[in-house]
């Protein structure tokens, strides 16, 4: 992902408005930020994040504006301010907003997009043996963090629920029908702006598509991501929250939040795993553990499917 730095340029104020803040936007948001501006509404405000829902149009329908020290979702615009500076303190839920022409406006907040960052991490090429090593490393880090035991992942909003386990098993076995049935059962399952079932699915979809696209013989994992993504996004707008529906669409397209992307780079052997796993597990109340559950399931499935696809060629050369 593109590194973010503070922008020293003093941006001019829009006519009749306050001086704008500089923002760095996810490339996933180009479809809503590049066209002429259109109306939106504020659906949630927190000290470190502001969520806007566009009226009508295609996904992504929800845009997040976050502080520089907040978690970075794949649909985020990052502003040059920390949560201690309270950049969203004067914005009220339900208020009007505008998005487009390279701007985000909500109440007194005006953000001019000055940079873009890529929510689809480049993992390079991997052989199944390298992926197996990466999966083992991820399992070891999750175990060290107390998030993985012999009985499976601990924590998360669906701990002990059978469907996430069934979903992971079906994906690893290449059982498309079983995977789709289990996935559809957990869409929207759990409380909060991003229900636990959707967080699991986001981690799973991103891992299947990105790791499957990087590993040799990973095509079955990518095809599985295609089918699962189509199934869970088909009616997500009526089955879960607006934010979670947008995040499912992002994950289905291979767009991941910064914390998930860092863990996937660890699996690919491109950065040390310890700090990245801890940052992921620290996301939200249960979102981090749920995302970790999905990421691990997706990586294990990509490995199992790549091994199965590679078996005929190993037999030929045996």
Are both 53 and 113 inside the same structural domain? yes
3-state secondary structure the chain: CCCCCCCCCCCCCCCCCCCCEEEEEEHHHHHHHCCCCEEEEEEEEECCEEEEEECCCCCCCEEEEECCCCCCCCCEEEECCCHHHCCCCCCCCCCEEEEECCEEEECCEEEEEEEEECCCCCCCCECHHHHHHHHHHHHHHHHHCCCEECCEECCCCCCCCHHHHHHHHHHHHCCHHHHHHHHHHHCCCCCCCCCHHHHHHHHHHHHHHHHHHHECCCHHHHHHHHHHHHHHHCCHHHHCCHHHHHHHHHHHCCCCCHHHHHHHHHHCCCCCCHHHHHHHHCCCCCHHHHHHHHHHHHHHHHHHHHHHHHHHHHHHHC
pTM: 0.91
Q: How many domains does the chain have?
A: 2
Q: Which of 68, 84, 117 is the last residue of a domain?
A: 117
Query: Is residue 10 domain-resident?
Result: no
Query: Is residue 207 domain-resident?
Result: yes
pLDDT in tens, 149-196: 877 888 889 988 999 999 999 999 999 999 999 999 999 999 889 999
Q: Which of 60, 82, 117 is the last residue of a domain?
A: 117
Predicted confidence (pLDDT) at residue 297 exceeds the cutoff of 80: yes
Q: Whole domain around residue 26: which residue ranges? A: 21-117
Predicted confidence (pLDDT) at residue 314 exceeds the cutoff of 90: no
pLDDT in tens, 11-30: 444 444 556 899 999 999 99
pLDDT in tens, 27-85: 999 999 999 999 999 999 999 999 999 987 789 999 999 999 999 999 999 999 999 99
Are both 111 and 247 inside the same structural domain? no
Are both 93 and 154 inside the same structural domain? no
Average pLDDT over residues 206-215: 98
Are both 108 and 175 inside the same structural domain? no
């Amino acid at each position: 992902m593109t590194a973010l730095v503070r922008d020293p340029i003093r941006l001019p104020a829009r006519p009749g408005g306050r001086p704008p803040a500089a923002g760095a936007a996810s490339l996933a948001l180009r479809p809503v930020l590049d066209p002429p501006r259109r109306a939106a509404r504020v659906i949630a405000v927190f000290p470190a994040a502001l969520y806007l829902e566009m009226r009508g149009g295609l996904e992504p329908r929800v845009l997040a504006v976050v502080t520089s020290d907040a978690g970075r979702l794949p649909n985020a615009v990052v502003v040059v301010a920390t949560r201690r500076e309270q950049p969203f303190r004067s914005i009220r839920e339900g208020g009007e907003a505008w998005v487009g022409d390279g701007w985000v406006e909500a109440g007194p907040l005006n953000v001019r997009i000055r940079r873009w960052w890529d929510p689809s991490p480049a993992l390079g090429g991997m052989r199944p043996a390298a992926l197996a090593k990466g999966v083992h490393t991820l399992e070891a880090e999750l175990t060290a963090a107390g998030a993985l035991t012999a009985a499976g992942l601990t924590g998360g909003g669906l701990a002990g629920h059978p469907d996430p386990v069934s979903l992971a098993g079906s994906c690893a076995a290449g059982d498309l029908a079983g995977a789709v049935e289990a996935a559809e059962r957990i869409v929207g399952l759990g409380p909060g702006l991003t229900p636990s079932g959707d967080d699991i699915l986001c981690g799973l979809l991103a891992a299947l598509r990105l790791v499957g696209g990087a590993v040799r013989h990973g095509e079955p994992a990518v095809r599985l991501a295609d089918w699962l993504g189509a199934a869970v996004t088909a009616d997500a707008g009526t089955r879960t929250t607006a934010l979670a529906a947008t995040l499912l669409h992002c994950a289905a397209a291979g767009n991941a939040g910064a914390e998930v992307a860092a863990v996937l780079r660890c699996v690919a052997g491109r950065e040390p795993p310890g700090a990245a796993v801890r940052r992921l597990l620290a996301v939200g109340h249960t979102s981090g553990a749920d995302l970790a559950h999905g990421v691990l399931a997706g990586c294990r499935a990509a490995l199992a499917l790549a091994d199965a696809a590679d078996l005929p060629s190993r037999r030929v050369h045996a």
